[in-house]
Amino acid sequence: MKSFIDAGVEEYLYAMLPPRPPVLAEMERQAKERDIPIVGPAVARVLYQYAKLVGAQTVFEMGSAIGYSTIWWALAVGESGCVIYTDGSEKNAREAEGYFREAGVLERIEIKVGDALELLEKHDEKFDILFNDVDKRDYPRVFDMAGARVRQGGLFITDNVLWSGRVAEPDPKEESTRAILKFNQQLKESKEWFTTVLPLRDGVAVATKL
């Protein structure tokens, strides 16, 4: 994954992060060794901070893998909150469940296995935060669903919106890149969302429901 920050500055940035609890540190190690996609500690702290800022109690996470970001959300919403974990892999879900138990947050997480978009369709309620990290080709479809499922003043947060810089290609051939470009344009043109893109790690779009 291409970095958008000077290498020296990035090294300093990560060196400035406080140590994580052992379970999160172990998940970071596993992700590095096994090439598992996680948001990483710098972005995770941003997610935690935004959740705290809006007083989030409900989070729907689309594409949770081994549950690294799920734990950060669960820590942010507290004992009275609820985070919905979704992933298409039963194996990922079972591994994530073990981490949730170790982190002491299992009781505030609902684990759902299956297609994240189909699972979201089954929920009529509006969430405080919708976190989008599914297959990039599905991003435009997620945008179409998000407005009805985030409360006013809530957040729609999406990872990988800069896609290792491929969004800047003049004529991208990759389907996933074109989908992200369409998604970013949808956010830009929307009167329903106020959006800022943070060029941290692979790019995070933070959209507030107006």
pLDDT digits (tens, 9 = 90+) for 165-196: 999 999 999 999 999 999 999 999 999 999 99
Sole residue written with tokens 């591994």: 95
Residue 126 lies in a domain: yes
Residue 140 lies in a domain: yes
Residue 1 lies in a domain: no
Residue 174 lies in a domain: yes
Residue 2 lies in a domain: no
What is the extent of the structural domain holding 194?
A: 7-209
Contact (CB, 8 A) for 201 and 1: yes
Phi and psi dihedrals of 114, rounded to 5? Answer: 150, -170
Sequence-ordered alpha helix ranges (H) in 148-196: 175-189
Question: 7 pLDDT band (50/70/90 cuts)?
Answer: confident
Residue 83 lies in a domain: yes
The CATH number of residue 196's host domain is 3.40.50.150
Indicate whether 59 pLDDT > 80: yes
Residue 36 lies in a domain: yes
d(CA 66, CA 193): 29
d(CA 87, CA 79): 23
Half-sphere exposure of 74 (CA within 13 A, CB side): 25
Mean pLDDT of the chain: 96
Total domains in the fold of the chain: 1
Question: 3 pLDDT band (50/70/90 cuts)?
Answer: low
Contact (CB, 8 A) for 189 and 181: no
Sole residue written with tokens 């007083």: 55
Residue 54 lies in a domain: yes
Query: Tokens in use for 186?
Result: 């949808």
